[in-house]
Amino acid sequence: MSSVGGKKRKTAASGVASKGLRDDGRGDDENSSASSNGAGEPEQQMIDYTPHYEVLVKEGATHFDSVSAAIFEHIDNSITAFKILPPEHERKIEVQIHMPAKGLYDAEPIYLAIWDNAGGMTTKQLEAYFTAALGRETRGLEPKGKGEAATRMAHLAGNLSKFGVGALQSFAYLGTQLKVITKDKEEGKVRYYKIDKDYFKQKEESHGRDSVFKGAVRVVETAEQALEEGERRTQLVQHLQQWNELPHFTVVLIRLQDIHKREIFETQGSK
């Protein structure tokens, strides 16, 4: 029962809209009215449905069944990036496996590096790269209005990286750490950002779930400065020094999981 102007009238419980809230749960202060005189707004209890980090960590296992297929996802990303460059631009893609020194195979990780000179990435483009399920149209890699059906057909025809999430799925299958080092053609700055499965749980417990999906892109003078001590393999350092002289580049550096180390060892041993 509610009272208006001293008179009582019935109010249907299911037909009263709370002030400031429409049926879809969004605020609509301009068109809303109070459910009763002086009743005030209902209590609001906020929830957080930021994805758990395991959505990213475990997702790759369902999309790839071999190291070669997962690597090809990154190669396809590089090929796609070349599409925005003029035809006369020299195109270069390299795939390298950086092994530990002999006798340290069990103790030291293997690093996979995929290089291209397809224009590099700005901070905003790095953010898009690491944003799971961000479609190509949103990332500026597809014409607007192309639609999901057409994008799916392109994917089936051989365009593997249907979504930005493709690179993250590949990483989830291949490795424990993903680092992208890039120099963009607009500003010529060297930037890098990394994600690490081993750090996800610690970060969530210390700073909350949404902190896993946030971080700082670092800007350095040279590409070599993006390497940490354990990553400084001689050939990798030399290659970074050479590519740092280019006007723009991107290298995707993945620390491989132990299970894939064994697969690579067996391949190397069979040659």
Q: Containing H/E element for 102?
A: none
Tokens of 140: 């500026």
Q: Indicate the pLDDT class of residue 90, thresholds 50, 70 and 90.
A: confident
Mean pLDDT, to the nearest integer, of 214-237?
90
Collapsed DSSP state (helix, strand, coil) of residue 194: strand
Q: Indicate the pLDDT class of residue 108, thresholds 50, 70 and 90.
A: confident
Residue 121 neighbours by CB distance under 10 Å: 25
pLDDT tens digits, 141-185: 454 455 544 444 344 333 334 334 578 888 889 999 999 999 998
Closest CA to 192 of 133, 252, 233: 252
Which pLDDT does position 184 carry in this prediction?
93
